[in-house]
């Protein structure tokens, strides 16, 4: 499929143009690699910084979010080599040894950096920290982690009674607790487990549904005394802990693979192989949803890498059908819903996505953003309070659309543009670099 793909980097906000004028919409082909998993990259940098010895990380995501995590922990005394995907060395300083930074910690656009780090900072008794982020992050809710941390004895202040950053933290000797989370959130769970590393006793977190379990897997690998009960969605961690440096290989991010899984499904005559993708069962909701829509996706060369299941994913184009997506699968595909909305635009029938109100407090209101921008391209889409209703089958026509500085919105619109007649211009396309710096080069690679 030959299309014109142009990224204008001369302005403060980059514009990505995808022009299908005169192009036969067929044939995305080839074998591609994707960036390292963002969730695992964050946790490897954090736990490596808190461990004793040198942690060696291969395959790290080089996006803006992990760079924010690395910068914060460098400012608190960890030695982290220059970030690259070949090898990053982290000289940890041991639990309890973080230094007070000389300046405000900046989490950038990364909710994972801020929310997980709060558990670490709150448990470092006698030290003072201030953490902030960009405009988007400062608007996102932090009370879901601040409130339970306060129940453990944390001293945290911020805007709106601690609901919004900037946040100031005075480290304390925290008490362990049993917390029944009202939401299935890996960030809430991970924050409290990290806080529990330095408490004397057992910290227990129970969720209404099972969320991604990268923290549990990696904490156990680093030596934490941790128990998981999948029947009750409960994780228990005994503190105080001692973390020992590890060798980590980060698999490819299934959230990044999702764009190509949908592209390969909707562009006729496509056959793509996506290599080295993490297929952790707490992250494979996207595969289940696409299977329900009739997608032709097969797993090849299944294996395990550093405690995480990995496979190559082959996707071939096919006719998709509408389905209903909601309930317990949502925590396992919450980041992939924007690109699932694109798949639904090409599915026969009406797709309903519900139970996803969490999307309204991401980097943007992703429900509103996808409804507004896809409708500009001709998609019959409407907002629900907690999701979207998409009637598939309308022909798409290129137009000017906006990413809202949201990386997943930007990339989802780019995939939709492949099947739109004419020219689509995506404003603020630089946001893709937050999780997928090589997205545009890979887009060019598969469109030849």
What positions carry a catalytic annotation? 335
* Distance between CA atoms of residues 339 and 255, nearest Å: 9
Helix H, strand E, coil C: the string for the chain is CCCEEEEECCCCCCEEEEECCCCCCCCCEEEEECCECHHHHHHHHHHHHHCEEEEEEECCCCCHHHHHHHHHHHHCCCEECCCCCCCEEEEEECCCCCCCCCCCEECCCCHHHHHHHHHHHHCCCCCEEEEECCHHHHCCCCHHHHHHHHHCCCEEEEHHHHCEEEEEEECCCCCCCEEECCCCCHHHHHHHHHHHCCCCEEEEEECCCCCCCHHHHHHHHCCCEEEEECCCCEEEEEECCCCECCEEECCECHHHHHHHHHHHHHCCCCEEEEEEEECCCCCCHHHHHHHHCCCEEEEEEEEEECCEEEEEEEEECCCEECCEECHHHHHHCHHHHHHHHHHHHCEECEEEECCCHHHHHCCCCHHHHHHHHHHHCCCEEEEECCEEEEECCCCEECCEEECCCCHHHHHHHHHHHCCEECEEEEECHHHHHHCCCCHHHHHHHHCC
What are the structure tokens assigned to 108, written together?
């950038």
**Using an 8 Å Cβ cutoff, are 325 and 359 in contact?**
no
CA distance 260 to 269: 14
The residues facing 229 across adjacent strands are 234
Please tell me the distance from the alpha carbon of residue 3 to that of residue 180, in angstroms, as a whole number: 51
């Amino acid at each position: 499929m030959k299309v014109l793909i142009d990224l204008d980097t001369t302005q403060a906000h980059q514009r990505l143009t995808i022009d299908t004028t005169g192009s036969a919409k067929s044939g995305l082909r080839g074998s591609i690699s994707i960036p390292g998993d963002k969730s695992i990259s964050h946790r490897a940098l954090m736990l490596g910084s808190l461990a004793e010895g040198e942690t060696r990380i291969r395959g790290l995501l080089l996006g803006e979010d992990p760079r924010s995590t690395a910068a914060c922990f460098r400012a608190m005394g960890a030695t982290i080599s220059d970030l690259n995907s070949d090898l990053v060395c982290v000289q940890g300083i041991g639990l309890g040894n973080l230094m007070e930074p000389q300046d405000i910690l900046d989490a950038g656009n990364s909710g994972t950096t801020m929310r997980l780090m709060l558990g670490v900072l709150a448990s470092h008794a006698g030290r003072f920290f201030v953490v902030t982020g960009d405009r988007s992050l400062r608007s996102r809710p932090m009370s879901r982690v601040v409130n339970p941390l306060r129940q453990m004895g944390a001293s945290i202040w911020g805007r709106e009674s601690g609901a919004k950053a900037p946040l100031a933290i005075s480290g304390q000797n925290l008490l362990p607790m049993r917390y029944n989370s009202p939401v299935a959130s890996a960030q809430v769970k991970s924050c409290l487990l990290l806080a529990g590393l330095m408490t004397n006793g057992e910290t227990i977190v129970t969720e209404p549904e099972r969320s991604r379990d990268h923290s549990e897997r990696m904490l156990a690998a680093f030596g934490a005394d941790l128990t998981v009960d999948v029947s009750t969605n409960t994780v228990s961690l005994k503190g105080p802990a001692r973390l020992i440096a590890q060798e980590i290989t980060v698999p490819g991010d299934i959230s990044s693979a999702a764009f190509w899984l949908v592209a390969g499904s909707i562009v006729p005559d496509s056959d793509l192989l996506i290599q080295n993708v993490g297929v952790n069962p707490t992250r494979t909701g996207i595969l289940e949803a696409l299977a329900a829509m009739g997608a032709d996706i097969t797993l090849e060369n299944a294996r395990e890498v550093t405690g995480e299941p990995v496979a190559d994913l082959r996707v071939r184009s096919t006719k998709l059908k509408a389905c209903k997506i909601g309930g317990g699968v949502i925590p396992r595909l919450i980041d992939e819903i924007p690109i699932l909305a694109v798949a639904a635009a090409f599915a026969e029938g009406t797709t309903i996505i519900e139970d996803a109100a969490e999307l309204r407090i991401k980097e943007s209101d992703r429900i509103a953003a996808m409804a507004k921008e896809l409708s500009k391209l001709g998609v019959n889409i409407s907002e629900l309070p907690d999701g979207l209703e998409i009637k598939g089958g309308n022909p798409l026509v290129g137009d000017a659309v906006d990413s809202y500085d949201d990386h997943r919105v930007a990339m989802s619109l780019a995939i939709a543009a492949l099947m739109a007649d004419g020219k689509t211009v995506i404003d603020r396309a630089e946001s893709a670099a937050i999780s997928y710096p090589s997205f545009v080069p890979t887009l060019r690679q598969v469109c030849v």
